[in-house]
Structures are given as structure tokens and as C-alpha cells.
Structure 1
């Protein structure tokens, strides 16, 4: 007999906010059931819960970006939020974030692991087609995933999966991991976008998503409804995406009626809009982390004592209050704060200037020098966090000069390379996600160049363990090690904040990638 189980029941805790993907079991062996049908996002806006979605209308969306950083490659680095929004509506990934469970189907309708959790079979939705009407085949998916794997960040986006381990099997794609990995469906949620096999010109190529690209110019785009979309009915006739270089300009455009939705507009704009009856504030708690990265392989922060001193020199409550205007929460240097197995029992690190000074002295760091902290203005509050951080650590004797860079320069020249820089992540529902993407020694996006054998061993035990009771101590140990000696200073979690016209209904409330899933939104008349 086949019995349906939630991922929490079968694979244990630690997958994120919710139970995880649905599977079925026969006896004690993992097996798949059809993945759950995506539910509409939680309603937003006054009276939305009782209203029936109306078909039609054009949703005008503002998103942050810079013309110098524009990309139209779904497998490239998307430094602009506007690009990511467009690509996420035009192309389908295999899986996407969900509320409960936290992994929902998209182009993959179901998934099934082998008993040893190394071989995963993803069934492609039977009625999935490209925008030109041609059916999506397993060969299309294999070609796309191999293309993704060949990009500089491909090993992070497909962790443990080599190009030769991606194969077609009838109407399914089989991915074979180099290690047991119970979390693979979760790790495929971001950019496993699918193109037609042998696509020569990627820009403007047909996708499989809820909208198709009608026009694109200088980062601005018009997307029209894809009536063939396999994921269900889409109410909006079109989405028009307008790129803004600053959150202030985007907020002003929304408040003056030039756009209907200001996406990820930031705390300052939200605070300004408070109390206005003609504006919705959509708030997603614990939405985004903005850690400071300290390179551990070499340079001034390679000494663990220096990293500990930096973490002790920061006033986290002041950072949340001043940078986020209170729209956020203090964090404890552990990525994945939304995970049900987040280790709340690890003592919260607080400011201790005396200890910070002692550690800097013990490490022998040259305090006569000025060290550079690189940042960008990709998202609201990022550059401001760098400036306040520099002010705070000066009280411990550490001199920091903040260097602001254009996003294109930052992501090409600084990210993964500089001794000290800011970064940000819009996914926070899984400790394991970050372990595989940014913390394990062989992670392609190992931002701090951190290598810790004990952490690596514990991570492999965690993802290779099915039983919840056996898995829990591994998850806790991973977080303890990260808290003590990684290259991250995670001072707080920012709330995600959108401003919207009252007529915009059913906006997504999930964090990270989830917030760009606008296919269920509609306009009230």
C-alpha cells in the first residue's frame, strides 16, 4: 500500500518553513507521490479574502536594477532584481518555494528518490509547453540543466550533480548525486530554468512560464499572459516591469500612480507610507539576510580571533533599528533563520567591545591600517549597513573604509574574492540550503572561502539521514560550528516590503524567490 507522508514525517526536520515536499512511502523506503498542487498565495489588501479574482488588466511593477548590469540569460548571474523578476515569470524552474510544504512543483510534477537518496527522478508535467506551443521534453530539461551546470556558479545551483549525471528517462529527468542528498528538490528551487534544446540565442527565447516576453528595452519589459501555461489560469492580461535605480524613485512612482507595485522597496519607503489609506504595505518577516563576509582563506580575517572580534564589535539592535527602521530582527551569525530546526538554544551573540579589543590584540592585527569593506546598492539598506558597521567597529579600534561599487563590477570583481564585503540572500528557510550553497568546502558560492572538515562531515551526515531523531543533532552541530568560526557576520534579518495600490490583490507573501511569483495576482475594478 502507498501511504502519503509529508517531508517532515519522512525525511525529518530542517527543510524550511513548513513540512517540505510531499512524498509517498511503501514500507520504509522513500518514494514519490505527485507533488502537491500549488495553492494561491495568501490574499493581500483590504477585502481581498472575500473577492473573486477578476480576469484582465495590466499590472505595472517597479523593480530595482541598473542598465549596466542587465542580463537576459536565465542561467547567468542576475544582479538586478528586475531581471530576476522577468526571468522568473517567463521561465519555469523544476521546483519553487511553497508555504506548506516549502517545496512546490513547477515544471516537475513529482519527484522520487532512490533508497540511498543519490538518484532522483523528476517527472516533467505532461501538459507543459513552450510559448511557441511545442511540448517540453525531458531532453530539453537535460540540455538546460547541463548548460546551467557549465556556468561558473553551476556547481552551486546543482550541488553534487555533474553534467554527465543528468539524463533523460522517458518523460522524466534523472539526477544522480555524488552523495546521499535528501534535500535535492529544495536545492533546485531557484534557477533551474528550462530552455528549448540547442537554443542558440538565449535572449528572448521561448520559455514555459505563466507569461511570455512581448518586448524588452533597457531593462524594462512587457510580459503577456501565456494561455497555454500548465500551472493553471492566470488572471492578468500582462505585467509591465519598469526598472528603477533607487528605491526612493520607485516608491515615488508608486505613490504618484505611475506603477501599481513597488517590489522590495525597503524600510524607509514603507515607514513613509505608513498610515496612508491609499497604499498597501505587504510585509514578509524574516525575508532577507544581509551578512558581512570575511574571507577566511587568507588576508586580515583569516585569523579566527579577528572574525570573532568583528562579530563582538557590532551592536545588532542598533543595526536593525537604524538600517531597517525596525522592520527586521536581530540575528545570530547563522544562516537559515526560518528553518524549524534553527538552533535557538545557541546563545545570542551580543556586543562586547572589551573582548573584541582583547581578541584583536591577541591576533596581532595591524590596527594602524585602514581595511576596505566593499558594498553595492542592489537592495535597500545594504550600503547603509556597511556604513553603520564601519562606525561601530571603529570603537574596537578597527578602521574600515566603505567602498561602494556598481553591481556589475561588484559581482564580477569583488564577490567571492575580496577580504571583506557585503552580500545578501533572499532565502532563509533552510540551514541545509546555505550549508550546501555557501558553507561547505567545495561549494562554488563559498563566499568566505571557508573550509572546515568537521562542518563538511556533519553536513553530509545531515543530508544523508532520513530519520528525524538521528538528523537533529547533525543540524544543531552544523549551526554551532558556523556560529563559532565561519566567515559570516549575520547581524539581522530584514523584512521584505512591497508597496502596492489597493486594487492589487493576492500578492505573494512568501520570502525570497517566492515573492516574484506574481501569476496569481489580479486587479480589482
Structure 2
């Protein structure tokens, strides 16, 4: 028996029938300090969150995520579902245009989905369930599925990295393993490549032909997106004190991530506000390279669980201000439905480095060089690197700390070469926001070898459990499977969770920030 539904179109007609006041003319300029420079501009190729943030200025997504973490039509007017959930038709909104003036067509959407899915764990799960993906017409995208996949809107509207952005066909057909360097999107802002100064400045300008939705929640990445500034400038200021001074003096409007040691001083500045944007926080991550010694050996990775104390890691990042961090953190965001603390007790408390040395020797560690990448321009990650390097050295490992900028880390972590040929052993980062809500988007737990996130671990059992989660009949079953995933995670140890950190953002003279991460539509002068 067939079932047919249609979502997302009726509300637009209702809203359009109501007279709306004219929007105020956009203000000229917003100056912003991002978390780092945008070393890579392709938000599909990399999982760097700064590139995801850049992507949401330039590109749009088929679905948006609202403040309740549900998904709503964004580039699509709506969709139909037939054949007991195995046939989906997605209809694009009218009036969508790329920055080069060309209309957005289903023929652009199909290769964009394919390219994104080749790089993203959630997207790959959708494509594994897909028998046919095609452009049925210029405005209709058709999915014929092998089996029902009710999470289709979530896969195509996910807010974690990588971004499910829609590119023109000529760019979307690019090999997923090759970066796209020309940024032509259909989002609210254009990328001004001609004004980019690597390491110093990135510029965006309002796209006058962007047509916001007429309906929707206008929260997180969903609903109408109105650009209130003609120009957005990202100023790269690695030194926190210089950034704080620029914000305090009115030279900068918004600083994405003020360091915890400066937050107390910033709170006292007239007209300056400090608040959290992402209630999900970010989980610190010590990621191993599982391709080469010594961390191709899971027993060596397991031995290091005894070397890392989450409380020490988070104290190094945010001090004693417990509102900014949590320990006893596993692979899923604390206080979300799939979260469990099973096994996390081994990551909290006094460390016994002599015992870790013995465990490493028993596991077969032979003094191999460990190259640990330290991004000095990310204070919160730099602090993790310092703690990790110290813990590994106390455990008897031969650690080489390579201090560099985040852009270089992003480039180098893509290398699959051994350390003597420019490779790496460990990098530190954060797995942020909704990426950590469930196994669909949690890229760090994948055990699919060459197709896994940087580090490329192989774990057939983690992959089996992830498939079981997709097939689970209810939330209770999903939660039980997530507990099993975490148990297996601590056997395979593709990375070590270092605690959850909840960053603040600081700004003055503006309002309208959406939750989740730094987004620039709806931001407007007070």
C-alpha cells in the first residue's frame, strides 16, 4: 500500500498573504574575528569547523535545522514520500540562483549530493540506502531507495561537518578527493576571492539576488535568512589580547571565541555582551593515525587511556570555571538522548604513568617517534596539545611536538604517509555540536578504514553496531546500541575523548545571532 505526504509549501502561501513591512536597508560593514583563518574554502572536502562556518555564508542547504534540532525545508519547497518510504521527490523553491546568475537546478543538486556523500559518514549512509538518485526535472530531485530512510532530511540538512552544500554542477562533479577552490554558491553572501589575504583577511558581500524563504523557524540554519550587512570582513587576529583590545575599542564588532582567561575582563566592558552560541558544546579529541606504527596497534591506543585525565585537559582549556566544561564525556554530547558515561571513569582521576609505561611495553611499543600536531593559533586546542604531549612523554613515548597554525594541521592531517615522509601520529581537535548527537553524524567512531575520517581506523564491529542503530525500531533500542558502541569504542580507541568544552562568543553593537555556530544572516545593528 502506498502512502503519500507533502511538506513545506502551504505555510509560504499563508505568509505571503500578509502585508510585510519593508526591511531596513543593509548596513555597510561587520568586522568579525573567526576561530582561525580559512585555509581551505571547500566545505565538503574538509571537516574544519571554520570552513563549515564560511560555507554557510556562501552556500545553502536543501534542509535547515531548527532550534529543537528538527529539520525543515530550506532550498526545497517541500517533498513527497511514496512507496512506503522508498520513493522521495524533493522540489526546489522557485527563484533560487547561484552567485554567477545561473538558476539552481536539480542537475546541480544531484552531483552536489553525490560529492558530499563521498566525504561524509551520514551522507554515505544515505547513499548506501539509495538505489537511484536523479534529476527528474529542473526542479525535482528523485531518490528511489532500497529501503526506507526517514533520516533523509537530516542527512541533507546536517549542521555538523562536512556541510551538505549545493554547488553548481561544473564544480560538484569535481573528484571528492580534490578541493574545489572557486566558491560559487547560492547563499546570502558572495565570497570575494579577489580581496582575500591569507592569514589576515577574508571578505564576503551580500548577494542581492538571494531570495529568503517566506516561512519557517528562522532559528539555527532553518527558515528565512536575511542579510543585514553589505559586507562581512573576517579579520585573523591570533593573539587573544590583541583581539580583546580590538573588540573593546570598537575596532571589531564580534569575536567568535574569546579565551576563558579574558572573559572576566570582557564582561565588565560597557556595551559588550558575552554568551554561549552552541548548547551542544565541543568534545576534545586526541585522534590517532591508525595506518602507521605505533598507533596501528589498538593495544597501544588502549594503553594510553590511562595517561589522559579529562579534568586536567579541560582545566588547561578553561580553568576552574565549571560552567565551561564537563568531564566523564564519551563519544556523544553530554545530556543528549544517546549520551552514556559507560567507560569514561578510566579517563578521570589521578594518573599512574608507571602503569601506562608497562602497558605500552606489553602492547609492543618500541620507542617509535610520535609526531603530535599542535595548532598554536587555536588557544583551546593548543592547550589540549600541551597536556597530551606531557602525558605521552611521562608515559615513555618518544614525542615530537610540531607547533604550527591550524591551516597547516588541516593540510597535513590529510597525509597518509609515515612520519618520516611528512605524515603524522596524533592531532588534536574538537568534534563540535550536532556531529556528536548520534552515530549518523559522529565521524570519529567510523571504523571503515580508507573511507574513515583522518586517522583511517578499521573496526568491523563499530561499523556493524552503527548499521544496527539505523535499523533500530525506537529510541530505547537506539540508546542501547549507543551504549554498545561506546563499549566497543574503548576497545578499538580510534581517538581519546578529552572532555566537553562550551565556548563563549563576545560582541558589541549587534544582535540577532542564531544558536549553533557563527552565522551571519539575521545579525543586525542594535
**TM-score normalised over the length of structure 1:** 0.77
**How is 1:305-324 mapped onto 2 (pairs within 5 angstroms)?**
305-324=299-318
**How is 1:495-514 mapped onto 2 (pairs within 5 angstroms)?**
495-501=502-508, 503-510=509-516
1:101 to 1:72, Cα distance in 2 relative to 1, 3 A: closer
* Higher relative contact order, structure no. (Cα contacts within 8 Å, ≥ 6 residues apart): 1
Structure 2 partner of 1:20: none
CA distance in 2, matches of 1:124, 1:173: 8
Which stretch of structure 1 is more off in the superposition, 125-134 or 456-465?
Answer: 125-134
Structure 2 partner of 1:13: none
1:328 aligns with 2:332: no
Q: What's the CA shift string for 1:403-422, capped at 9, x where partnerless?
A: 12344443333346433222
Whether the aligned pair in 1 keeps the contact of 2:58 and 2:183 (CA below 8 Å) is no
Structure 1 partner of 2:364: 364
Whether the aligned pair in 2 keeps the contact of 1:285 and 1:496 (CA below 8 Å) is no
1:91 aligns with 2:59: yes
Structure 2 partner of 1:46: none
Q: What's the CA shift string for 1:5-34, capped at 9, x where partnerless?
A: xxxxxxxxxxxxxxxxxxxxx99x796633
1:194 aligns with 2:166: yes
Whether the aligned pair in 2 keeps the contact of 1:62 and 1:242 (CA below 8 Å) is yes
Structure 2 partner of 1:217: 196
Structure 2 partner of 1:60: 31
- Return the match for 1:452 from 453, 459, 462: 459
> What is the CA distance between 1:430 and its match in structure 2?
1.8
1:144 aligns with 2:136: no
1:282 aligns with 2:275: yes
**How is 1:242-261 mapped onto 2 (pairs within 5 angstroms)?**
242-248=234-240, 249-261=242-254
**Structure 2 unaligned blocks of 5 or more:** 13-21, 175-179, 214-223, 417-423
Which stretch of structure 1 is more off in the superposition, 232-241 or 483-492?
Answer: 232-241
- Return the match for 1:130 from 95, 98, 103: 98
CA distance in 2, matches of 1:239, 1:486: 44
> What is the CA distance between 1:292 and its match in structure 2?
0.5
1:394 to 1:116, Cα distance in 2 relative to 1, 3 A: farther
CA distance in 1, matches of 2:485, 2:81: 24
Structure 2 partner of 1:523: 525
Structure 2 partner of 1:34: 8
CA distance in 2, matches of 1:115, 1:455: 31
1:161 aligns with 2:167: no
CA distance in 2, matches of 1:139, 1:261: 38
SS at match of 2:491: helix
- Return the match for 2:212 from 227, 230, 243: 230
SS at match of 1:423: strand
Structure 2 partner of 1:208: 186
Which stretch of structure 1 is more off in the superposition, 70-79 or 478-487?
Answer: 70-79
CA distance in 2, matches of 1:240, 1:87: 14
SS at match of 2:345: coil
CA distance in 2, matches of 1:105, 1:251: 39
Whether the aligned pair in 2 keeps the contact of 1:287 and 1:494 (CA below 8 Å) is yes
Whether the aligned pair in 1 keeps the contact of 2:257 and 2:504 (CA below 8 Å) is yes
1:291 aligns with 2:265: no
Structure 1 partner of 2:17: none
SS at match of 2:251: coil
**TM-score normalised over the length of structure 2:** 0.77
CA distance in 2, matches of 1:33, 1:338: 30
Q: What's the CA shift string for 1:52-105, capped at 9, x where partnerless?
A: 996532322222444xx6444454437582x54443112102234322134343
Q: What's the CA shift string for 1:371-417, capped at 9, x where partnerless?
A: 32123245332122111122234333334332123444433333464
> What is the CA distance between 1:246 and its match in structure 2?
0.8
> What is the CA distance between 1:317 and its match in structure 2?
1.0
Structure 2 partner of 1:77: 46
Q: Return the structure number with greater helix share.
A: 2
Q: CA RMSD in A?
A: 3.7
Structure 2 partner of 1:431: 438
SS at match of 1:348: helix
SS at match of 1:220: strand
Structure 1 partner of 2:68: 100
